[in-house]
């Protein structure tokens, strides 16, 4: 008689490992996370950069360097896009102005156009790519966000069931300055500020730097500021401006506004996927 085989109880099928994806804005914080992965300090499977097609040249140059560094260790960097934010803001039929331009309210103070650019040109393209990669409610993807300890107010849960937002810099108690220190310690230069050329949330220091160091980008922003004056669908006809002073960009006194303690909306208003 053949001997009976000795088998233990059937083991449960191995659960697939959760995919970890970095939302790459190509700014200080998300660049730090990607390079930490390159150095083996954290684990990610890939990164996704949502391109508004309106970033400064220095950001695209920096992104190219990140792609090379990540690719060298087998981390792919996907670039996705919903189209040109600049052209859509001016020419898309039936379009409500998506950049948060400043307008004059009835009491004479400056108001802000409802912001839709982050959702339409950053979040949705990334979510679309995650679905293409197989993310489902039963098998969600971990999306790593480059939000640092000094930006806790920007932490938000994912708006869809197939994504879990993670905040590794918060977990590591790392501030933006700590990210810069990590970059310096590992021999990397300071990343450029990741922001669309015509983002109204730039502070005066950022506008000044663009004017002084990137004349082509400054000329583009000035032209857009002129073009956007009457674009959009406002209930009450009004003029839109890129600067909160409601003054045409070339006429703004950029030498004193920020020094006088002007509120920096650029960081405070970000929804967590733009410019980190």
Q: Which of 5-19, 23-37, 102-116, 129-143 has the lowest mean pLDDT?
A: 5-19
The number of distinct structural domains making up the chain is 1
- List the beta bridge partners of residue 23: 48
Q: 217-232 pLDDT, tens per residue? A: 999 999 999 998 877 6
Q: How open is the CA angle 246-252-254, to the nearest 5 degrees?
A: 130
Range in 22-26, 96-100, 148-152, 246-250 the model is least confident about:
96-100
- Taking alpha carbons only, the member of 5, 1, 63, 3 closest to residue 34 is 63
Q: Say yes or no to pLDDT of 268 above 80.
A: no
2 within domain boundaries: no
Burial class (CB in 10 A: 0-12, 13-18, 19+), 126: buried
Domain contains 224: yes
Name all contacts of 149-157 with Cβ < 8 Å and 24+ positions apart: 149/173, 149/174, 149/175, 149/178, 150/175, 150/176, 150/177, 151/29, 151/176, 151/267, 151/276, 153/268, 154/270, 154/271, 154/272, 155/272, 156/271, 156/272
Q: What is the mean pLDDT of residues 164-193?
A: 96
Distance CA 22, CA 144 (A): 5
Q: Which CATH number covers residue 129?
A: 3.40.50
- Lowest mean pLDDT of 127-131, 169-173, 202-206, name the range: 202-206
| Domain presence at residue 118 | yes
The answer to whether the beta carbons of residues 70 and 77 sit under 8 Å apart is yes
Q: Are 228 and 242 in contact (CB under 8 A)?
A: yes
CA pair distance 259, 276, nearest whole angstrom: 24
Domain region containing 34:
20-268
Other beta carbons less than 10 A from residue 124's beta carbon: 14
Does residue 71 belong to any structural domain of this protein? yes
Reduce the DSSP state of residue 204 to 3 states and report it.
helix
Helices (H) and strands (E) in the chain, counts: 10, 8
The 10s digit of each residue's pLDDT in 75-121 is 999 999 999 999 988 887 655 677 899 988 778 778 888 888 999 99
* Distances, alpha carbon 252 to alpha carbons 143, 155, 165, 248, in Å: 39, 33, 39, 7
In this structure, the number of other CB atoms found within 10 A of the CB of residue 201 comes to 23
| Burial (CB count within 10 angstroms: exposed 0-12, middle 13-18, buried 19+), residue 196 | buried
Tokens representing 156 are: 């938000």
**What is the reported pLDDT for 3?**
45
Confidence at residue 266, expressed as pLDDT on a 0 to 100 scale: 47
Q: Is residue 138 in some structural domain?
A: yes
User: In this structure, is residue 38 part of a structural domain?
Assistant: yes
Q: Domain for residue 252, yes or no?
A: yes
Asked if the structure places residue 96 within a domain, the reply is yes
């Amino acid at each position: 008689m053949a001997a009976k085989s000795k088998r233990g109880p059937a083991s449960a099928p191995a659960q697939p490992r959760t995919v970890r994806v970095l939302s790459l804005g190509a700014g200080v914080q998300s660049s730090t996370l990607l390079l930490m992965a390159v150095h083996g300090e954290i684990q990610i499977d890939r990164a996704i950069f949502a391109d508004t097609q309106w970033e400064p040249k220095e950001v695209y140059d920096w992104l190219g360097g990140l792609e090379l560094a990540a690719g060298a260790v087998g981390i792919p960097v996907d670039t996705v896009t919903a189209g040109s934010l600049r052209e859509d803001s001016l020419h898309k039929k039936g379009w409500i102005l998506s950049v948060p331009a400043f307008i004059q309210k009835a009491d004479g103070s400056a108001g802000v156009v409802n912001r839709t650019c982050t959702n339409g040109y950053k979040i949705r393209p990334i979510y679309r790519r995650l679905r293409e990669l197989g993310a489902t409610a039963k098998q969600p993807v971990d999306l790593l966000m480059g939000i640092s300890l000094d930006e806790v107010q920007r932490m938000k849960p994912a708006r869809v069931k197939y994504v879990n937002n993670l905040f590794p810099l918060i977990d590591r108690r790392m501030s933006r300055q700590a990210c810069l220190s990590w970059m310096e310690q590992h021999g990397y230069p300071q990343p450029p500020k990741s922001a669309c050329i015509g983002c109204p949330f730039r502070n005066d220091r950022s506008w000044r730097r663009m004017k002084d160091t990137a004349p082509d980008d400054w000329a583009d922003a000035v032209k857009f500021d002129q073009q956007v004056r009457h674009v959009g669908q406002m209930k009450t006809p009004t003029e839109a401006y890129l600067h909160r002073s409601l003054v045409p960009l070339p006429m703004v006194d950029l030498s004193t506004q920020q020094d006088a303690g002007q509120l920096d909306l650029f960081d405070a208003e970000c929804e967590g996927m733009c410019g980190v």
